[in-house]
Amino acid sequence: MDASADPPVAGLAAGLAAGDRRTLARAITLVESTRPDHRMAARALIAALPPPPRPTLRIGLTGTPGVGKSTFIEAFGMHLVGLGHRVAVLAVDPSSPRTGGAILGDKTRMGTLARHRHAFIRPSPSQAALGGIGPRTRDAVTLAEAAGFDLVLVETVGVGQSETEVAGITDLFLLLLAPGGGDELQGVKRGIMERADLILVNKADGTLVAEADRTRAEYAGALRLIRPRDGDPDGVPEVRCVSARTGAGLAEAWSALARLAAHRRDTGAFARTRDAQAEAALDAALAQALAARVRADPALSAAWPALQADVRAGRLSPEAAAEAALARLRP
């Protein structure tokens, strides 16, 4: 979308309600824009959205580069559209220009799925400023759901913060591993393993089958040592072998996810998690709005350098300086 085109909100909302993929792409571009008039239009659009036509499931997916994420999403996504689902894939790339830019940003990824009329793939935003999980990713999920995509996959590279943040906006969190190597080798942090709802060892095909199974057993063993999670049927995430290349294990992986989602819907945990996520997003939005107001206040911006100096020198704690700033804010 040409950023200056100023799409009418009503037209976008109607296009989304009709499940139009091009409208969805334009709507996501709108919510990602930082232009003040676009921010207002984005807010109006989100307020005007119809509720999702059917229950939705948000799945976070992470794994280090080369583990087979795009191959997996292509195969898994085709399996899911084959079951009658509409699948949206949102790729989030936390890489900065300094680290060489887009890790995920290859336009040829997931070509077959991208062409399917019941799939939508949003490549990662090219601007570093848009990288990482943020309120805009949450908005993009909302837009995709309003457009009738009942399964939303949020893909992120297993580096930096984004892989733990993705668990904060999704219902289920999937970790993809490759055969062999300990977690250090695979660059997987312990915290991610503990947050995963399902761990899949990919590339379990050909000569790698035995090694994939060894890796699966190792992880399953390690996971038995972590604190069991209340409410889930097994208490610890399942570890399974799959092959994105041959399709082996994909149907079973989906059954495992669907079973877990159904169990959490039954216990109420599903709704509680979404509620907590919405409240956390509200807190974050409030903090951001407050900070923006503080920065926009002329008296305060004049006093700001002195407050910063006080905090740098240790004369004021950050909390006390923030209080002082708020106290000066004009009503």
Q: Give the footprint of ligand GDP on this chain (CB under 6 A).
A: 63, 65-71, 202-203, 205, 243-245
On whether the CB atoms of residues 257 and 59 are closer than 8 A, the answer is yes
Residue 209 beta carbon to ligand GDP: minimum distance, rounded to whole angstroms:
10
Q: Please name which of 8, 24, 12, 10 lies closest in space to residue 147, comparing C-alpha atoms.
A: 24
Alpha-carbon distance of 238 to 249, in angstroms, equals: 13
The nearer residue to ligand GDP, 186 or 202, going by C-beta atoms, is 202
State both tokens at 77: 């996504």
Q: Nearer Cβ to ligand GDP, position 74 or 139? A: 74
Q: How many CB atoms lie within 10 A of CB 142?
A: 19
Residue with smaller CB distance to ligand GDP, 139 or 205? 205
Q: How far apart are CA 132 and CA 165, in angstroms?
A: 8
Where does the chain have alpha helices with state H? 9-17, 21-32, 36-48, 69-82, 111-115, 135-146, 162-166, 183-186, 190-195, 209-223, 250-267, 269-296, 298-313, 318-328
Distances (CA, A) of 230 to 100, 173, 175, 227, 260: 41, 16, 20, 9, 13
Q: How far is the CB of 196 from ligand GDP (least distance, A)?
A: 16
* Residue 210 C-beta: closest distance to ligand GDP, Å: 13
Give the nearest distance from C-beta 72 to ligand GDP in angstroms. 6
Nearest distance, CB of residue 66 and ligand GDP, angstroms: 5
The residue among 21 and 109 lying less far from ligand GDP, judged by its C-beta, is: 109
CB of 203 to ligand GDP, least distance (A): 4
Spatial neighbors of 302 by CB under 8 A, at least 6 apart, are none
147 or 250: whose CB is closer to ligand GDP? 250
Residue with the closest Cβ to ligand GDP?
68
CA 242/CA 217 separation, integer angstroms: 14
Least distance (Å) from ligand GDP to the CB of residue 117?
23
DSSP secondary-structure letter at 270? H
Q: Which H or E element spans position 239?
A: strand 238-241
| Nearer CB in complex with ligand GDP: 245/265 | 245
Closest to ligand GDP by CB, 65 vs 231, is: 65
